[in-house]
Amino acid sequence: MSSISYNLRRATLGLLCATALGAWANGTPFFFPQGRSDGNNPNALVYAGNIKDTQGRYVDDVQILVIAQDLGMTIPVKNDRPGHYRTPDVHGWIENLGGKVNPEKIRIDIRKRGYVLARPVAIPRRTSGVHSVDILLKPTAPQ
């Protein structure tokens, strides 16, 4: 292997690593609250559950919106696998904004083309823990 080929490969690898690192630094992990984003904190408040339609089929590619109505804050969440989602630590997000967690003011909505909520999502009245919250969607009429 010639030294020119070796140096070219090293330069290409260095450029690739620098580009990937820059993209990661400006990505989603940068915007998560420090120290609480993983949901392992004892005060963490995490919602997870299934996303199904009225026929019982799992729905994929759904954007879940966790809305703290009293603070005007919306936490967008993408489902992690078909028919399932898990939020980041909602308690951590709210505390990092200086607010207090009020489960009565938390609402979950969805964005998915061709679907709407079949019924309002029932939010547990707890301020910490991992809670199972299933979402039921119904298809909208074609236009």
Per-residue pLDDT, 143:
59
Strand partners, 132: 48
In the predicted model, what is the mean pLDDT of the chain? Answer: 83
- pLDDT over 90 percentage in the chain: 56
List pLDDT tens digits, range 69-85.
Answer: 999 999 999 988 889 99
Q: Where are the domains of the chain?
A: 1-31, 36-139
Q: Which residue in 79, 73, 78 sits closest to 58, CA to CA?
A: 79
pLDDT digits (tens, 9 = 90+) for 105-125: 999 999 999 999 999 999 999
Cα separation, 51 vs 83, in Å, equals 5
Tokens found for residue 30: 């940068």
pLDDT above 50: residue 68: yes
Four-CA torsion 124, 127, 130, 133, nearest 10 degrees: 20
* The pLDDT of residue 4: 79
pLDDT tens readout for residues 36-59: 445 567 788 999 999 999 999 999
Q: Do the beta carbons of residue 88 and residue 32 sit within 8 Å?
A: yes
Its pTM surpasses 0.75: no
Q: Does 21 score more than 60 pLDDT?
A: no
As a whole-number percent, the residues of the chain with pLDDT over 70 amount to 80
Lowest-confidence range among 17-26, 50-59, 69-78, 95-104?
17-26
Q: What pLDDT score was predicted for residue 8?
A: 77
Q: Which CATH architecture has domain 36-139?
A: Sandwich (2.60)
